[in-house]
A and B are shown apart, each in its own frame.
Chain A
Amino acid sequence: MILLDANAIIGFHELGVWNQIIKQHEVYIPSVVLRSEVFWYETTGGFRHSIDLVGAIGQTITELECTPDEIKDFSSKYNHPFLPEIHAGELEALALLEKQADFLFCTCDKAALVVLGFMGLSEQGISFEHLLQKTGLTKILVRKHTQAFFEEHISVGQRMRVEHFSK
């Protein structure tokens, strides 16, 4: 059960592997990401390619949502001034992750990875590269999609967690 954020969805589309991802995994997308963030992606030369996630709900993907209060409660828990600021879509994804332990969250956003590490949810994170491998795909990847990038920023969050809770 894979929970994806906007970066990962667009990344898979850019690499042309979206169909393999949705075929081989149970894909879940937070409602804020699905309905307000991912509508298209751009390729070199400014060409826009549309992404219709809403039309795919119930067929190839599942929409998941939190109530505004759940997002508020979650953000209150992580609201430390030293942590990076993340968007409502990422907050929703992390709140969902906290509720459901069998989800694996795939993101390649530096700030979101730090928060994931800080919240003690590292085990529920999966890198873009690792997810591709699990799908049986090998691609040349940009830095943010690599396992190394994932580990680097998760560990920043983990260190912050240790420092914060050992005070």
Chain B
Amino acid sequence: MGKDELIGIRLKVEREALSLKLQYVAAQLGFNNYQTLSSIESGERPARAWELMKLAQLYGRNMEFFLRPEQLEQQKQHVLWREQAQTEKTALAERKFLNLCDNFSRLKELSGETESDSVTFPITADALKLRKDQFRYVEKLADEYRRLLDLGGRPACALPSALENQLGILVLFLDLADGGSAAATCGPTGQAILVNSSDISWRRNYDLAHEFFHLATWDAFSQTEIYDKQASKSLPEQFADAFASALLLPADKVREECAHRITGGKISYASLIEIAREFEVSTDALLWRLVNLRLLARKDVIDTLNQKVLKEMELERKMKGQAGERPYLSAKYISLAIKTFLMGKISKAKLAEYVGIAFSEVPSFLKSFGYDEDEDYTVAFDTA
């Protein structure tokens, strides 16, 4: 079999794995008809370099993947998705996620940060205690992480940066549309969390904390246990929710905020929404945390969540929240890519590829982070 045929077969396999139609892909490449793509896939016509590059981008791969078959044999890094059901969109998102993890690892290497990239948790979840003490242990684990990561009284704001800078976990935000809400991975390229950037901020915070639990307990549960559908939610998933809730809503601070707002033994819906906003969590999450802290009765929360007034107020908050700025990729990843570019370790076109923007957008992208590509950012340093 010839080289062109092999590349063609790989291209076809990749396109079909993502359920992309010939016509759609052909249009994306600017071909006048789909027969051109069809003849590339059959090996009748060799793919040109720029065509292969664009196809690779479209399929969430890099060019090397098609040019070096040995890469196909690479060990697959496992990704734990929040939802077990996988769609073609999830498959594409997973490829992009793993590619970005690879890129991150490469950027660390290029910038010389490899030495400090080994991720060791200051505390590791004790699988035995977790199974024995269950939710009590989860609460304790969340408290310990919050303290060690110095997340303060409003942990949601500090969490992404703390995970990236203190634990070396890559926190990526990608627009997953309906391709999934969040995922986590742990493997040769390190630990990473993927969060849907199109979700509202408090959903993203919660998802991040939830996935963090999965990383902290990566070896404690099997996939079967995590995706167990006998109950509406498996026990590990319940633990992850409880962990997220306890991490983002510190008991003492939540009690403090509620105490300020209670009048005559009651708290208003507006106050609850206000507290949820302060902690950057959903009102639902706050209410369930209050049940967990024995400040509200379960029955009252169920009633409250069904109140039309609360639903309308929450909807209004959601509308406002959706207008907010969406995070893009990862602060650490972007800063590493820029640093590597400024060091001259990657070209400008490569920087564009790493951060997923057009080549011509690089100057304005750099400016948005306070850099000018024409400036020299080195300064003489006296080491004597």
Which A residues are closer than 8 A to B by beta carbons?
5-7, 10, 31-32, 34-42, 46, 48, 65-72, 81, 84-90, 92, 109-112, 114, 142-144, 153, 156
- Knowing A68-B7, A87-B350 touch, does A111 contact B344 (C-beta < 8 A)? yes
A84 surroundings in chain B (CB, below 8 A): 110, 344-347
- Which of B50, B68, B360, B375 sits near A31, CB closer than 8 Å? B50
* Complex Cα–Cα for A7 and B348 (A): 8
Q: Are A68 and B49 in contact (CB under 8 A)?
A: yes
Question: Do the beta carbons of A42 and B67 come within 8 Å of each other?
Answer: no
Report if A143-B374 is in contact (Cβ < 8 Å); known contacts: A41-B360, A86-B350.
yes
Query: Which A residue's beta carbon lies closest to that of B372?
Result: A142
A129 to chain B, nearest CB (A): 14
Cβ B349 vs Cβ A87 within 8 A: yes
Q: Is there contact, CB below 8 Å, between A38 and B67?
A: no
Known: A36-B50, A40-B360, A42-B364. 20 other contacts (CB 8 A): A32-B50, A38-B360, A42-B361, A65-B48, A68-B7, A68-B63, A84-B347, A85-B350, A86-B346, A86-B350, A92-B49, A109-B349, A110-B347, A111-B345, A111-B346, A112-B347, A143-B375, A144-B373, A144-B374, A156-B344
Interface majority SS (helix, strand, loop, mixed), chain B: helix
Determine if B48 and A31 form an interchain contact, defined as CB atoms under 8 angstroms apart: yes
6 contacts between A and B (CB under 8 A): A31-B50, A37-B358, A37-B359, A85-B345, A85-B346, A111-B348
Q: Complex Cα distance A10/B352, Å?
A: 15
Residues of chain A lying within 8 A (CB to CB) of residue B63: 68, 71, 88
Which residues of B have CB within 8 Å of A66?
49
Chain B residues closer than 8 Å to A35, beta-carbon distance: 50
**For the complex, would chain A's binding face be called helix, strand, loop or mixed by DSSP majority?**
helix
Q: Is the CB of B344 within 8 A of A114?
A: yes
B212 touches A (CB below 8 Å): no
Which residue of chain A lies nearest to B52 when distances are taken between CB atoms in the complex?
A: A68
User: A-B pairs with the 6 shortest C-beta distances?
Assistant: A87-B349, A110-B344, A111-B347, A142-B374, A37-B359, A35-B50
Contact B347 A109 (CB under 8 A): yes
Query: When the two chains form their complex, are residues B360 and A71 in contact, meaning their CB atoms are under 8 A apart?
Result: no
Q: How far is the CB of B242 from chain A (nearest CB, A)?
A: 43
Chain B residues whose CB sits within 8 angstroms of the CB of A71 once the complex forms: 49, 63, 67
- Taking CB as reference atom, which chain B residue is nearest A54? B30
CA A20 to CA B373, docked complex, whole Å: 26
Number of A-B contacts (CB under 8 A): 108
With a cutoff of 8 Å between Cβ atoms, the chain B residues found around residue A153 in the complex are 344
Q: Smallest Cβ distance from A155 to chain B, in angstroms?
A: 13
> Most B CB atoms within 10 A — which of A38, A46, A111?
A111
Chain A residues with Cβ below 8 Å from B360 are: 10, 38-42, 48
Contact, CB under 8 Å: A109 / B345: no
Name which residue of chain B comes closest to A110, CB basis. Answer: B344
B353 at the interface (CB under 8 A from A): yes
User: Complex Cα distance A71/B124, Å?
Assistant: 46
Answer yes or no: B266 CB below 8 A from chain A CBs.
no
Known: A84-B345, A87-B349, A87-B353. A65 touches B359 (CB 8 A): no
B50 to chain A, nearest CB (A): 4
Neighbouring B residues of A41 by C-beta, 8 Å:
360
The interface bits of chain B over 54-87 (1 if a CB of A lies within 8 angstroms of the residue's CB, else 0) are: 1000000001101110000000000000000000
User: Would you call B208 an interface residue if the criterion is a C-beta within 8 Å of the partner chain's C-beta atoms?
Assistant: no
Which residues from A are CB-within-8-Å of B347? 84-87, 90, 109-112
Instruction: Say yes or no: is B190 at the interface (Cβ < 8 Å to chain A).
Output: no
The answer, among A37, A65, A68, A143, for a CB contact under 8 Å with B66, is: A68
A144 to chain B, nearest CB (A): 6
